[in-house]
Amino acid sequence: MIGYAGADLAIALINVLLLGLLFVVGVAIARMRSLFAIVMLSGIYSLISATWFVALDAVDVAFTEAAVGAGISTALLLGAMLLTARTAKPETRAMRIVPILVVIATGAMLVYATIDLPAFGDPDSPANTYVGTDYLERTPEEIAVPNIVTAVLASYRGFDTLGETGVVFTAALAVILLLGFGERSLAATFNRKKDKN
Amino acid sequence: MIETAAVAIVIAIALTLIRALLGPTLYDRVLAVNSLGTKVVIFIGFLGFVLGRPDWLDIAVLYALINFVSTIAILKFFRYRSFQVPLHRRPVPKVTAGQGGDDV
């Protein structure tokens, strides 16, 4: 539902600009040495990519990215920063070259994979030919929820979503146990101060 | 007109990003993240208007809430060096707090 004629061009422009910003943030994260700045920049990365997801009309994905990426994971990374060492090992040549090779290889594979993707809005694409149309037809009468993604997630695949929620809950519990919120992290802080003095 | 507004918002995002990249002290970076979150809120409201979906304003308000809470969480972390310190015995750090920089 495009309201104005100029909207298409504006969206294209926004996509390019936001991806450029993401690139700048990514390079900065790779180059920086200060852990706190890196944590803040990863929060910024999440916010900008959430913006980009909104521009691509994936509002739910964007919201997850903003809540998890910019909110929870920033807090968790700060907690992890408290527990980690303050010194870094000296860089070797392999440490500089291997990551860029891995990134280039992964990027090349992803670009290669996009060649097989169906065109945007293609009526013959797998998403539009098999069960997708069935869900579209039956959701209004069977579930009566306006958002079909919600109907699929919470009703048609309700057990699957329940299992996922259990997995995410267990993971969060494990992270909290590892980081030691509350009393234990307080003790760690005091011990660290004693070591300094 | 729409393009101008979109580019203006993205330029504002870029300016706060520059502050986050350069920002010598801790608080510059926290403030940069916070104001970048505000730009995101504006951007979602703008995009909802352009694409004719005013219900995105609700999402924008929710982003503002998340932004506020996470900024408070970060600042609380740097005040007390921990999350969830019990209220009745919060130690007040003598010298280390409020100095900025990267000495964490």
pTM: 0.73
Chain A partners of B33 at a C-beta cutoff of 8 Å?
40, 43-44, 47, 70
CA A168 to CA A83: how far, in whole Å? 23
| Domain spans in chain B, listed from the N-terminal domain onward | 2-89
Please check whether residue B40 touches A, CB under 8 A: yes
Question: Could you give the angle at the alpha carbon of B74 between the alpha carbons of A55 and A25, nearest 5°?
Answer: 40
Residue A138 domain flag: no
Q: Which helix (H) or strand (E) holds B11?
A: helix B2-22
Backbone angles phi, psi at A120, to 5 degrees: -65, 125
Q: What is the mean pLDDT of chain A?
A: 81
CA B104 to CA B96: how far, in whole Å? 8
Cross-chain residue pair A25–B73, CB shorter than 8 Å? no
* pLDDT for the residue A185: 54
Please check whether residue B7 touches A, CB under 8 A: yes
Q: Spell out the long-range contacts of B97-103 with Cβ–Cβ below 8 A and sequence spacing 24 or more.
A: B100/B24, B100/B25, B100/B26, B100/B27, B101/B24, B101/B25, B101/B26, B102/A34, B102/A35, B102/A36, B102/A37, B102/B26
Contact A42, A29 (CB under 8 A): yes
* pLDDT for the residue A1: 41
CB atoms < 10 A from the CB of A99, how many? 11
> Binning pLDDT at 50, 70 and 90, where does residue B104 land?
very low
Domain that holds residue A87: 1-93
In chain B, which residue's Cα lies nearest the Cα of A28? Answer: B21
Q: Which of B13, B47, B81 sits opposite A48 (nearest CB)?
A: B13
A66-121 tens-digit pLDDT: 888 888 888 888 878 877 777 777 878 888 889 889 999 999 999 999 888 887 77
CB atoms < 10 A from the CB of B60, how many? 18
> Binning pLDDT at 50, 70 and 90, where does residue A189 land?
low
Give the distance from residue B53's alpha carbon to the nearest chain A alpha carbon, in angstroms: 8
| Domains held by chain A: number | 1
Chain B partners of A45 at a C-beta cutoff of 8 Å?
none
Please check whether residue A49 touches B, CB under 8 A: no
Please check whether residue A65 touches B, CB under 8 A: no
Please check whether residue A175 touches B, CB under 8 A: no
Name every residue whose Cβ is closer than 8 Å to that of residue B49 and which is 6 or more positions away in sequence: A3
- Residue B43's nearest CA partner among B59, B66, B19, B20 is B59
Contact A41, B31 (CB under 8 A): no
Backbone angles phi, psi at A150, to 5 degrees: -60, -40
* Over residues B79-88, mean pLDDT: 61
